Structure 1
């Protein structure tokens, strides 16, 4: 039996190659792979000895040769193929172990140049893998170190790999090379905002017990080549396995928390914020966020952007929290939180920024809606004060409310006071109803709307929505503007002695 080995990632290779050699396999290897195997004392035939041709073009041409590819592609049950091998003195390969140049790793680094990227485009590796995968009936493709153990175990037990195993390895190899090509295409298309053909490659990160509902199967996949994803550098310190709904809520909460540099707490339920606050400390931020709507916070996802210490942990442990996420936890805090058997405690180890220009995908029947992420952080620069006057505290509440409102389902209204949400109306078909719900929520939990700020994710088509908030005591409003009846809305706000700001930017979220 004969194996062709050419790997960039040498992890586990010594054990795998020794295992093959111990079973009597002859090893053929290229360049650095051959050197690595020789260094551990294994007999290796170098590729150039097989091809009778040296490496060319600085290593760009090593395995692209008929004596390699004929050995991979030959069908042992085809008389003509066997005769061709004999005529040209070519030996067949029974296994091809190849992993590819780390294109995504290199191109995700800051400062990576086009030349760096181009040199990481593997040509020979995918060709060998695809050839072996096509000829899986006679040649087994092995494309990643995670497969080594199972392949060796089956060879030891059976003396060969079953057809079913080779078929599965072929499927994995084709998926592997397809994902690799997709990453390259994505990189080249980066300058074309919406190319005619868009390839998205995903890698499974986590199997999930079920989807949104128990009858739906589910898993979490990360976009291949992304510098970061929802669970990148996230460590689960405690609790049950993460669920589909946990991850959906966690994504919403984490995205919102990124809007704030000061200590902040975000509580999310069913992918909508139900309590958000900024405070002098993480504990104060949590107290304020929970007080926003303590009923909806029950069973929610809590995200903090500061470390959790023992006093805050005791408060969190007294609540039903599905997921708790923070950049750090003291030992005493963890001890307190671990008294709650099921709470999922996640440690944030991700410090890398996302890649500018990442796209947002929304599944529709038979396709995808693709758009830019609504990633711009709202700030008062460029906003227009269209009526009334504002002090700094009011400006602060308006900016805060606008940032929260961007992350609530449309139609969305957020009432805020003292950098704390006091009423959120989200996911309503009527903007008037969204205002009414926000005002009612504030009253339900004892919040005084007098002097509060209101944010709307889209313009008010009529004065009726703002009037409800003004009657409740709201004194400042931020909205995109752009309605044909803007002047009517401005007049109603001015008559109430309140202030209003136009941002010029809508934030629908569906």
Structure 2
């Protein structure tokens, strides 16, 4: 398998295209309004409840800045929201490298765009399994798949993508963007990537520990 070795990147990347899917809506109104204030042409691609929330925040004229992921990919969401963002065009936009000519051709061929920022927080698995009356099915339903994939892809490509996994970071991100004409510098993108990988590792550890001690026998009709 051939592995790319990237040498040329940009220090500062202007945030033009944002991919957002948040279970925790705290702070999202502040963040979205500030992103648009900094760059009135920013495009936010979103799904499900996050799309509905941002549409509510923006009100009339939301179409200028807000796009449905399903409209972008050309694929509807799977029933139950099980598949929303697991799509080639999404990951092409997350993992493509700025100065890679082959990647540029792929983007052109598929009419894909490069995402500059991913804003994702995960299904509340830890909180769910902490409830007294939680069932295995409750826990299973709260195992996030698409969220960790988007976070890990964006964190891997910190070369040009900012991975945002915690609403507590929204204010700092906005401040840095304002100080850098709408861009985020490499050192900050790298710090976000470090935080993201720690977060997804802890999330998977919670799931692994729960599954190891769970009893599925007698729960399902087989």
TM-score (norm 2): 0.84
Mapped pair 1:15 → 2:30: yes
In the TM superposition, 1:100-179 aligns within 5 A as 100-159=122-181, 160-179=183-202
Structure showing greater relative contact order (alpha-carbon pairs closer than 8 Å, 6 or more residues apart): 2
Q: Equivalent residue for 2:205?
A: 182
User: What CA distance in whole angstroms lies between the structure 2 residues aligned with 1:84 and 1:54?
Assistant: 22
Q: Equivalent residue for 1:96?
A: 118
Aligned residues: 192
> Given that residues 71 and 93 in structure 1 are in contact (C-alpha distance below 8 angstroms), is that contact kept between their aligned partners in structure 2?
yes
TM-aligned CA deviation for residue 71 of structure 1: 0.6
Mapped pair 1:4 → 2:19: yes
User: What CA distance in whole angstroms lies between the structure 2 residues aligned with 1:61 and 1:107?
Assistant: 23
Q: Equivalent residue for 1:324?
A: none
User: What CA distance in whole angstroms lies between the structure 2 residues aligned with 1:191 and 1:104?
Assistant: 14
Deviations, residues 141-193 of structure 1 (Å, cap 9, x unaligned): 0001011111111001102111000000000000010000000001011259x
Deviations, residues 99-130 of structure 1 (Å, cap 9, x unaligned): 00000001100010000000000000000000
More helix by share: 2
> Given that residues 4 and 28 in structure 1 are in contact (C-alpha distance below 8 angstroms), is that contact kept between their aligned partners in structure 2?
yes
Mapped pair 1:35 → 2:61: no
The counterpart of 1:71, out of the listed 93, 98, 107, is: 93
Mark the CA change 1:136 to 1:120 in structure 2 (over 3 Å): closer, same or farther: same
> Given that residues 18 and 43 in structure 2 are in contact (C-alpha distance below 8 angstroms), is that contact kept between their aligned partners in structure 1?
yes
User: What CA distance in whole angstroms lies between the structure 1 residues aligned with 2:33 and 2:94?
Assistant: 22
Q: Equivalent residue for 1:198?
A: none
TM-aligned CA deviation for residue 31 of structure 1: 0.9
User: What CA distance in whole angstroms lies between the structure 2 residues aligned with 1:111 and 1:40?
Assistant: 34
> Given that residues 123 and 142 in structure 2 are in contact (C-alpha distance below 8 angstroms), is that contact kept between their aligned partners in structure 1?
yes
SS of match in other structure, 1:40: helix
> Given that residues 21 and 27 in structure 1 are in contact (C-alpha distance below 8 angstroms), is that contact kept between their aligned partners in structure 2?
no
SS of match in other structure, 1:161: strand
Deviations, residues 305-345 of structure 1 (Å, cap 9, x unaligned): xxxxxxxxxxxxxxxxxxxxxxxxxxxxxxxxxxxxxxxxx
Q: Equivalent residue for 1:87?
A: 109
TM-aligned CA deviation for residue 10 of structure 1: 0.2
User: What CA distance in whole angstroms lies between the structure 2 residues aligned with 1:128 and 1:191?
Assistant: 27
Mark the CA change 1:118 to 1:83 in structure 2 (over 3 Å): closer, same or farther: same
Q: Equivalent residue for 1:452?
A: none
User: What CA distance in whole angstroms lies between the structure 2 residues aligned with 1:82 and 1:139?
Assistant: 16
Q: Equivalent residue for 2:12?
A: none
In the TM superposition, 1:209-248 aligns within 5 A as none
TM-aligned CA deviation for residue 140 of structure 1: 0.5
In the TM superposition, 1:290-369 aligns within 5 A as none
User: What CA distance in whole angstroms lies between the structure 2 residues aligned with 1:61 and 1:47?
Assistant: 11
Q: Runs of 5+ in structure 2 lacking a partner?
A: 1-15, 216-222
Q: Runs of 5+ in structure 1 lacking a partner?
A: 193-510
> Given that residues 22 and 121 in structure 2 are in contact (C-alpha distance below 8 angstroms), is that contact kept between their aligned partners in structure 1?
yes
User: What CA distance in whole angstroms lies between the structure 1 residues aligned with 2:214 and 2:32?
Assistant: 42
User: What CA distance in whole angstroms lies between the structure 2 residues aligned with 1:66 and 1:139?
Assistant: 17
TM-aligned CA deviation for residue 57 of structure 1: 3.1
SS of match in other structure, 2:158: coil
SS of match in other structure, 2:184: coil
After superposing on structure 2, the runs of 4+ consecutive aligned residues of structure 1 that deviate more than 4 Å are: none
